[in-house]
Amino acid sequence: MKKKVMITGTNRGIGFEFVKRYLEEGWDVIATCRDPSKADKLHSLSLGSPMLRVEKLDVKEKDDYIHLKEKLSNQTLDLIIANAGIYGPRDLNLNQIEAD
């Protein structure tokens, strides 16, 4: 049986590379990003691969979690890579930044 991974923050950088590598390894991939309509590179990958599914998830938006949970409620995942996030403001130390 194929393994399935969900990766957050996949429209560029490390997240996008994770998507490519897991597809190359034959995994089914659920790639999430803040705005799928602007994720051209992800959509290019999905045209060539039925193993890739692109979904909306802004990690700052509670409603996005709820919506994605409902869409994926009948599926199982073998791995979740929580790649999405931001760091800032850049002039603060990590211990000075609020969770929100």
Which pLDDT score is estimated for 13? Answer: 93
Q: What is the chain's mean pLDDT, rounded?
A: 90
Q: Which of 14-18, 63-67, 92-96 shows the lowest per-residue confidence on average (mean pLDDT)?
A: 92-96
Question: Is residue 66 pLDDT above 80, yes or no?
Answer: yes
The domains of the chain, with CATH numbers, are 4-96 (3.40.50.720)
The whole-angstrom separation of Cα 42 and Cα 16 is 7
Which pLDDT score is estimated for 91? Answer: 78
The pTM of this model reads 0.85
The whole-angstrom separation of Cα 96 and Cα 88 is 10
Which pLDDT score is estimated for 56? Answer: 97
Which pLDDT score is estimated for 88? Answer: 64
- Token pair, residue 22, equals 């897991």
Dihedral sign from CA coordinates of 44, 15, 2, 67:
negative
| Residues making up the chain, counted from first to last | 100
Please write the tens of the pLDDT for every residue from 34-65: 999 999 999 898 887 899 999 999 988 999 99
